Amino acid sequence: MLLNELPERVVEWKEALAQQACRWREGVWEAGRLPEVQGRLVLLAERLSKQALARSLQVLDDAGVRVELSAVDVVAGRELASLRLSAWSPELKTALQQVATNWDLACVPALPDAGSPGLVLMDMDSTAIQIECIDEIAALAGVGEEVAAVTRAAMEGALPFSESLRRRVRALAGADAAIIDEVIGRMPLMPGLTELVAGLKAMGWKVAIASGGFVPFARHLQQQLGLDAVFANTLGIENGKLTGEVLGAIVDADAKANILTELAHEHGIPLTQTVAIGDGANDLKMLARAGLGVALHAKPLVQEQAPVCLNRLSLEGVLGLLQAR
């Protein structure tokens, strides 16, 4: 079937293509499968148009990559198309990203198998929730601008995370510890978080948080969502006041990557079956170690280095990636 004969919305291709695998060959979709697969491409959008496929296919044709359309679907209210590729390279991923205007994509060597046990480990601030908790505490403590500037530098990789965290926490010395509960009471979840966790639990996957933020916020999310584990930093508190110190080892980039490995080992899950999600420089090592690393609305440095970037969809897009295979 010619591309121009298919409906404008890709999700409607199911019926048109008789719900079978189709190869893209000389400008025509024909029944058949690729004999060898070296990569996967998933396109995602709130409404996925034929334009997204057409532009992507042009990039693949120019690179001499053969394509099989293996599925179109709707997951968590978002539309996706899943393609198997005869070749994969970082350059191919970059070229596809350059033509993506109003859709997200993942171009990777392989995807985790949703039908087998797996693990998702995510950052908390600006990933699982929409705020940076330390910035909110600082604003209520009267040092908001000072702390927010250091937060931005840390997330962009301009400051070592541990140094930046200790500097920010020192600025909170003497603040009333009751501020923590005030921030928890108005902590907004990231869109798609509840759908993602519910979907992962339905798949039998483990879900955890590794945060450079603080324990009370992570534990609140654990209780609210039924997360399997949370890891975060401990704020010093004496006589109802913040001491300006972080107690114990800091959950930094190395710690997050190690937590991923340790949790996977604890549950008998291979690293190929792990997903890491984050937005800042402190998450890059975790994203690189996971079977699938996803940057969510990330800072520029992370956009450049992350295996997959979601910029238009939110956390529900991660569930789409896992269901795409």
Q: Mind giving me the DSSP string for 255-282? A: HHHHHHHHHHHHTT--GGGEEEEE-SGG
Distances (CA, A) of 224 to 122, 154, 252: 16, 28, 24
Determine the distance from the C-alpha atom of residue 294 to the mean position of all C-alpha atoms in its chain, rounded to a whole number: 3
Establish whether 123 is a catalytic residue: yes
Active-site entry in 61, 73, 125, 283: 125
Secondary structure class of 75 (helix, strand, coil): strand
Tokens representing 295 are 């940057």
CB 151 within 8 A of CB 299: no
Distance of CA 9 to the CA centre of its chain: 25
Active site residue 125: yes
163 contacts: CB under 8 Å, gap ≥ 6: none
Residue of 61, 73, 104, 123 marked active site: 123
Nearest 5°: the CA angle 169, 298, 48 is 150
Active site residues: 123, 125
